[in-house]
């Protein structure tokens, strides 16, 4: 599926190359096309499910940092195991650097829903890291 999205993104990019107006970076323009193409594919496959909530507990935003020696591959597996909605918002926010307003617009969700999805993704990742640390140190 990732290969199909990449190919269709490149096709769209090359087809609309004349539309690039040199306003901003070329890299940003290409990234925007690829992100939009990925989101479109997820929507088409009906893999994006968002749970709308109006309030987020601010206290949980300040998460506890856990010392860990996780490998990049292990972290990627944890991110990949998140539900699609959580993973999409997490990657757009934490990796791609989008703001909640931009994510809400891209995914056609409310800004609060974006914040909620990020909060829940972080919470799930924290639990996975704790569980991994407990397994590593034999303290289940």
Residues 90 and 43 in one domain: no
- What are the pLDDT digits (tens) for 38-55? 888 877 776 655 554 544
pTM, 2 dp: 0.56
Say which CATH number the domain at 59 has: 1.10.10.10
* pLDDT for 78: 87
CA atoms within 13 A on the CB side of 25: 4
Provide the domain count of the chain. 2
134 shares a domain with 65: yes
Q: Residue 118's domain spans which residues?
A: 53-140
d(CA 7, CA 1): 10
Do 137 and 100 share a structural domain? Answer: yes
Taking only the tens place, the pLDDT of each residue in 77-127 is 888 899 988 989 998 998 888 899 999 998 989 999 999 999 999 999 989
Same domain, 96 and 139: yes
- Residue partners of 109: CB distance under 8 A and separation at least 6: 50, 52, 103, 117
- Please give the Cα distance from 110 to 118 (Å, whole number): 13
My answer on whether 67 and 89 are in the same domain is yes
Instruction: Say what percent of the chain tops pLDDT 90.
Output: 18
Residues 114 and 100 in one domain: yes
Q: What is the pLDDT of residue 119?
A: 93
Task: Output the average pLDDT for the chain.
Answer: 78
Q: Are residues 24 and 93 in the same domain?
A: no
Q: Note whether 125 and 60 are same-domain residues.
A: yes
């Amino acid at each position: 599926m990732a290969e199909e999205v990449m190919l269709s993104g490149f096709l769209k990019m090359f087809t609309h190359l004349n539309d690039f107006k040199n306003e901003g970076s070329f890299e940003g323009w290409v990234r925007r096309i690829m992100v939009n193409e990925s989101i479109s594919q997820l929507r088409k496959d009906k893999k994006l499910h968002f749970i709308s909530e109006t309030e987020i507990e601010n206290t949980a935003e300040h998460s506890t940092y856990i010392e860990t020696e996780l490998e990049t591959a292990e972290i990627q597996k944890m991110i990949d195991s998140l539900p699609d909605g959580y993973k999409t918002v997490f990657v757009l926010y934490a990796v791609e650097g989008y703001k909640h307003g931009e994510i809400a617009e891209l995914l056609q969700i409310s800004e609060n829903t974006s914040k909620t999805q990020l909060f829940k993704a972080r919470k799930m990742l924290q639990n996975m890291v704790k569980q991994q640390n407990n397994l590593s140190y034999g303290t289940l």
